[in-house]
Amino acid sequence: MSPLYTAFLLLMAMASATPLWPGFYSETCSDAELIVREVMKKAMIREPRSVASVMRFQFHDCFVNGCDASLLLDDTPTMLGEKLALSNINSLRSFDVVDEVKEELEKVCPGTVSCADIIIMAARDAVALSGGPDWEVKLGRKDSLTASQEDSDNIMPSPRANASLLIDLFASFDLSIKDLVALSGSHSIGQGRCFSIMFRLYNQSGTGKPDPTIESSFREKLDNLCPVGGNENVTGDLDSTPIVFDNIYFKDLVAGRGFLNSDQTLYTFPETRDYVELFSKDQQAFFDAFVEGMIKMGDLQSGRPGEIRTNCRVVNTHHRPVDVLLET
């Protein structure tokens, strides 16, 4: 691609990006943020893990064609959405919490608050409600008119990923090594499936042996949780305090007690190791870097046209190809 064309594409993307700002709904839906937080609180009481599951949506939405709630669209006969993509199938959960937020918002200010903004507010609330930092989010995003399973498959990293692959992936979104390490700290809350770690327990990189960086008593614990031939949908905690957002995740990595390969690799690789060490010793440094990373990730936009969906799972009726067909 010629540099001129690249510059043109960049200009186009910048020209069509929607401006985002903190007070976006102050006139049109002044209670929007309160409503989101209340629903998240209730969800947390019902099931503590659900807020972690909702927080994960921000990553899986924003990396695939920007933060546009494409992730939330159900498949249709003409569109394979992202819910069944490799990293999401049998894994993403708690979509019902977003549905509940949307229903509450539609009662008070119909057709006003985008599902893309709900994801951003809810992710922030998940962290704050779990004892992590609280911050101001920029709002004003539009919801996509489509979703792409293929794009998600091509972009989202596998739990087998190593730090060098992750550094490159994050760099392609203008996210630094510091952002990568801090954002991985989101694994301070939530759980993962045995499915995501079987290879590292029994056949790391095709060696027929476990990942040598796993501390031995922790490996025994994981072997018991995830035996060969066992149910791979069984889940384990991503760190030793899975409902508290804190820097214990990083202390665990230093001790060789990371759950995912993509977590432990951040300590193994020299490029990322210093940040793991810093965050393991200084929780405030982790919180500050995490907030900065979440805001940067929340700024990702595709520049494509959008709408305010009334139901986060489906595109508004007047855009659906089947209706266009029926009308003609």
Sequence-separated (6 or more) residues with CB below 8 Å from residue 93: 50, 53
Q: What pairs with residue 133 in β-bridges?
A: none
To ligand HEM, the closest distance from the beta carbon of 195 in angstroms equals 6
Q: How far is the CB of 293 from ligand HEM (least distance, A)?
A: 8
Instruction: Output 196 or 247, the one with its CB closest to ligand HEM.
Output: 196
Does 213 count as an annotated binding residue? no
Q: Is 309 exposed, middle or buried (0-12, 13-18, 19+ CB in 10 A)?
A: buried
70 assigned binding-site residue: yes
| Closer by beta carbon to ligand HEM, 29 or else 39 | 39
Q: Which residues bind ligand HEM (CB under 6 A)?
A: 49, 52-53, 55-56, 58-59, 91, 93, 157, 159, 161, 166, 183-184, 186-187, 189-193, 195-196, 238, 260, 262
Token pair in block for residue 187: 């694994």
In the complex, minimum distance from the CB of residue 311 to ligand HEM, in angstroms, rounded to a whole number: 23
Distances (CA, A) of 76 to 80, 88, 148, 197, 263: 7, 17, 12, 32, 35
Query: Which residues, 6+ apart, have CB-to-CB distance to 127 below 8 Å?
Result: 55, 133, 134, 186, 189, 245, 290, 294
**Was 239 annotated as part of a binding site?**
yes
Nearer to ligand HEM, 169 or 314 (CB): 169
Return the residue nearest ligand HEM (CB atom).
190
Q: Is residue 252 part of an annotated ligand binding site?
A: no
Is there a binding annotation on residue 96?
no
User: 309 phi and psi, to 5 degrees?
Assistant: -70, 150
Instruction: Identify whether 60 is a catalytic site residue.
Output: yes
Q: Please tell me whether residue 272 adopts helix, strand or coil conformation.
A: helix
Q: Which is nearer to ligand HEM, 84 or 308 (CB)?
A: 84
Catalytic residue from among 37, 56, 60, 142: 60
Give dist(CA 119, CA 58) in Å, integer: 6
In the complex, least distance from residue 305 CB atom to ligand HEM, rounded to whole angstroms: 27
Query: For residue 214, what are its two tokens?
Result: 């796993």
Which is it for strands 191-193 and 235-237: parallel, antiparallel or unpaired? antiparallel
**Residues of each annotated binding site:** 61, 64, 66, 68, 70, 82, 157, 187, 239, 241, 246
**Residues of each annotated binding site for substrate:** 157
**Residues of each annotated binding site for Ca(2+):** 61, 64, 66, 68, 70, 82, 239, 241, 246
Catalytically active residues, by annotation:
60
